[in-house]
Structure 1
Amino acid sequence: MKLIKAFFTTLFILAFAGTASAHTGLSTTNPEDGSEVTEAIDSISLTYSGQIEEGSSFEVLDAEGTEVSVNEFTVTDGVLTGNLENPLENGEYTVNWNSISEDGHPLEGTFGFTVNAPVEEVITTGQSESTEEVETTNTMTEEADETSQATEVASSAITMDQQESSPLIWVIAALAVVLVAVSIFAIARRKKA
């Protein structure tokens, strides 16, 4: 009797195990759950332990809960791939997947990952031209300042020369007036004589 019980128990366990193994489940994801991606990513793949049906899909949400646009889904040999409209920016993402196994059972779940790719610094031509223009303007301003300083020095020198020669001019002018007056006086005396 014990032998018959053991036989039926074993048969039940094998039958249950066979049924359980017939169901498809999610095996791996790319990117992996909890991973940090350090390069630009433009697609996400989910690999299942068995075949899945067309119509299987997933949604990608950023840290704020905003849905990221996925262009198309493809199902090939138990792999569901979604191509993203644009590569993901740095940040945390959650993927909510919803699939249909080959035997019609609905499958669903969630996994998450972080993108931390190097950011390229791009210097545009307009920025470099602006820099050159600023440098040119600075150079012209410096030259103008130097010219202005030279003009001020020359102007100061002329003013000082004029101030120094001013009394001499007045003396010469006074002498000229005196000479003219003496000449007029001498001519007037001759006419009288």
Structure 2
Amino acid sequence: MAVTTNKRRSFLLLLALLVSAAAGLLFTSGASAHAAYESSSPAFGEVLSDSPTEISISFTQEIFRRQGANAITLTHADSGLDVSLGDPLIDNDDRHVMTASVEDVLEPGRYIVAWTNLSAEDGDADSGTYPFYVAREPTAAEVGEDRRTAAELLILYPEDEVAESDEQATPQRTPTVVRSEPSDAVSPGVGPIIWLAVGGLAALVLVGALGFHVGNRRRSF
């Protein structure tokens, strides 16, 4: 009787471990599933000689059109004043890209772009900020702040990106927008990759549990 009880406990322990591992993998996948910042124009930390006419941000996932879910704002960091922008538009040809026109001529200084979005692939919301400069270089303090912002976005600071590219370069012997913004008809859902992961992990748990249970039953006869 004690042997049977020990086998049952071992079976339940294995099942709990498999379920915990599956849940951990799913949580990790879900935690990183956002339409995160990928690139922009003006670029992160870019120093412009002239005022830009628009702000364009490219994200890692397609954006879902829903009233009030997506926004771009621009602030003159030196004065704290907001800059007038047009309504954010999602590119019909590439829905990773969201753009807003700049209505005013920007004075020299540091500018902070802020955005919010809703992923069309998994329904998750995301937000963030990034800086650029007009007609002046960043101060040492601003560079430090920009580096922290880059780390939050999980991207390289521009100077670090150039240095890494130089290190990876190998020497060669011979140098050789549409204004109308309709809303999407359906709600965003969980992406197919996540559903495949759920199904695969569930199958793994089931097969592992059944295999262990059947093996113990055979040993008991």
TM-score for the superposition, normalised by structure 1: 0.50
Supply the distance in 1 between the matched residues of 2:112 and 2:131 (Cα, whole angstroms): 4
- Larger of the two Rg values belongs to structure: 1
Partners of 1:23 and 1:110 in 2: CA distance = 15
Superposed displacement of residue 114, structure 1: 0.7
Which residue of 53, 61, 77 maps to 1:42? 53
Query: Which of 59, 82, 85 is 2:73 aligned to?
Result: 59
Tell me the distance in 2 between the aligned counterparts of 1:12 and 1:104.
Answer: 20
Gap regions ≥5 residues in structure 1: 118-193
Q: CA RMSD in A?
A: 2.6
Q: Give the one of 75, 83, 96 matched to 2:90.
A: 75
Kindly indicate which of the two structures has a greater share of residues assigned to strand.
1
Letter in 2 for 1:111: Y
CA contact (8 A) 2:56 2:99 kept: yes
Aligned pairs, how many?
117
Deviations 1:137-167 (Å, cap 9, x if unpaired)?
xxxxxxxxxxxxxxxxxxxxxxxxxxxxxxx
Secondary structure at the aligned position of 1:70 is classed as coil
TM-score, normalisation: structure 2: 0.45
For residues 30-179 of structure 1, the aligned pairs below 5 Å read 30-54=41-65, 55=68, 56-62=70-76, 63-76=78-91, 77-102=95-120, 103-116=122-135
Give distance in 2, aligned partners of 1:21 and 1:96.
20
Partner AA of 1:69 in structure 2: S
2: CA distance between counterparts of 1:21 and 1:107? 11
Q: CA deviation at 1:10?
A: 4.1
With over 3 angstroms needed to count, the CA separation of the structure-2 counterparts of 1:42 and 1:51, relative to structure 1, is same
1:67 is aligned with what amino acid? D
Structure 2 partner of 1:11: 22
In the alignment, residue 51 of structure 1 is paired with which amino acid? E
Cα deviation, 1:35-88, whole Å, max 9, x if unaligned, reads 312344111111111122334111111121222111232112121111112343
Q: Gaps spanning 5+ residues in structure 2: where?
A: 1-9, 137-221
Considering Cα pairs closer than 8 Å and 6+ residues apart, tell me whether 1 or 2 has the greater RCO: 2
Indicate the residue corresponding to 1:158 in structure 2: none
Identity percentage of aligned residues: 27
Decide which structure has greater helix share.
1
Q: C-alpha separation between the residues in 2 aligned to 1:32 and 1:43?
A: 12
Distance in 2 (alpha carbons) for counterparts of 1:25 and 1:104: 13
